[in-house]
Amino acid sequence: VRWMMYWIVFALFMATETFTDLLISWFPFYYEVKMAFVIWLLSPYTRGAGLLYRRFVHPALARREKDIDAFLVRARERGYETVLRFGKRGLNLAATAAVQAATKSQGALAGRLRSFSAQDLRSLPER
C-alpha cells in the first residue's frame, strides 16, 4: 500500500512537473528543492507520499468514484467495439488480399500453360 501511494503521488508530481518546469525552473535552487521533495515523498521516516495521498488524492478519488467507474465501463465497451470493428476490417482486408493473390496467380498459371505448344505438352512424361 505504501508503494502504491508513493507511485500515485509521484505520477501526479511528474505530470504537473512537466508544465511547472517550463514556468518556474529559473528560481534559484529549484532543482535542489525538487530533489528534496522527491526524497521527502520516498522517505519511510517522513512518509510524505502517504500524507499527500491520504490528505488530497484519496478524498478527490472518493468524491469522483462513481464518475470514474462509469468512465471505465464506457471505455471497456468502446474498446470491445473498436477491437471488433478493426478485427472485421482486418479479416476483410486479408480475405480480399487472398482472393486477389489467388486470382493473379491463377491468371499467371493459365498464361504460362497457354504458352506451351501441343508438342511441348506431349513431350512431358506421363505419370
Contacts with 50 (C-beta within 8 Å, 6 or more apart), sequence order: 2, 5, 6
pLDDT at residue number 19: 87
Angle at which helices 30-42 and 2-24 pack, to 10 degrees? Answer: 170
Which pLDDT score is estimated for 54?
A: 93
- What average pLDDT score do residues 87-97 get? 86
Q: What's the confidence (pLDDT) of residue 111?
A: 61
Q: Evaluate if residue 121 carries a pLDDT over 80.
A: no
Provide the mean pLDDT of the chain: 84
* The C-alpha cell that represents 29 in the structure block: 535552487
Residue 100 pLDDT grade (very low, low, confident, very high; cuts 50, 70, 90):
confident
Region of residue 99 (left: phi > 0; alpha: psi -120 to 50; beta: else): alpha
- Kindly report the pTM of this predicted structure: 0.56
